[in-house]
Structure formats: C-alpha cells, structure tokens
C-alpha cells in the first residue's frame, strides 16, 4: 500500500520502446522480455509485472504487437508476442523521439559554454 512513486524505477514512457526494441530479436513472452531488458541494462531497469502486462496489452491493442499462446522452454504455457509491421514503424518513431529528447535534456544539463 506504500506509494507507487514513478521515480523509483523506469523513465516513464520508455517501457513501450524497450519492449518493442526487445521484440526485434524475435517473438518472446512477457517474462522473457522483462528478463532481457533487465539483463541488457545490467539490472538498471527492472520491470514489474504490474507494468509489464498492462504495457503488453496496450501495445497489442494498438496493433504494434501480436500474441499467440505457446509452450515455453520450460514447458509452461506462455503468451508469445511478436512485432507487427506497424509495430516496427512505431519503434522507429519512439526511438527517434527518445533520441531527440534525451539529447535535449543532456543539452540543458551541460550547456555548450
């Protein structure tokens, strides 16, 4: 019941981007996606299940990913997501948005003087 301060973890608004980017490597289920992001970021980014699944559902609802029930490596049933064509386009959009904004923030932090 403690406060869910959004400053504890993610950068707020970057989760969709991270998921889309991860799916470039091929279809994966939720657990695996979160694990991949955590590993590649060297534990800097930890995605909670309460963020992960809503994000997957919203990406699917927007048509950027598509899902299918399968059996995971460990023999458990899992929902595999893959990038759709429009998801690939969205990835480009979000990636350039991130690029632009992060450069802008950095510029404010270290002005060219």
Rg of the chain, C-alpha, whole Å: 16
Residue 56 has which token pair?
A: 């997957």
Please name the residues in contact with 66: beta carbons below 8 A apart, sequence gap of 6 or more.
Answer: 60, 81, 82, 84
Residue matched to tokens 């695996």: 32
CB of 34 to a copy of itself, least distance (A): 12
Nearest CA among 22, 20, 32, 18 for reference residue 76: 32
Q: Which of DNA, a copy of itself, none lies near 40, with the C-beta cut-off 5 to 8 A by kind?
A: a copy of itself
Q: Which of DNA, a copy of itself, none lies near 65, with the C-beta cut-off 5 to 8 A by kind?
A: none
59 near DNA (CB under 7 A): no
- Contact residues for DNA, defined by CB under 7 A: 1-10, 12-16, 29-32, 46-51, 53-58, 72-80
- Contact residues for a copy of itself, defined by CB under 8 A: 6-7, 10-14, 17-18, 21-22, 37, 40-42, 44-45, 95, 97-98, 100-109, 111
């Amino acid at each position: 019941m403690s406060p869910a301060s959004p400053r504890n973890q993610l950068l707020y608004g970057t989760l969709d981007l991270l998921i889309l980017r991860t799916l470039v490597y091929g279809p994966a289920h939720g657990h695996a996606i979160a694990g991949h992001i955590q590993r590649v970021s060297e534990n800097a980014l930890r995605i909670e299940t309460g963020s992960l699944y809503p994000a997957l559902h919203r990406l699917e609802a927007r048509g950027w990913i598509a899902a299918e029930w399968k059996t995971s490596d460990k023999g458990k049933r899992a929902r595999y997501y893959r990038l759709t064509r429009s998801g690939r386009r969205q990835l480009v959009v979000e990636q350039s948005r991130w690029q632009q904004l992060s450069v802008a923030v950095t510029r404010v932090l270290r002005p060219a003087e």
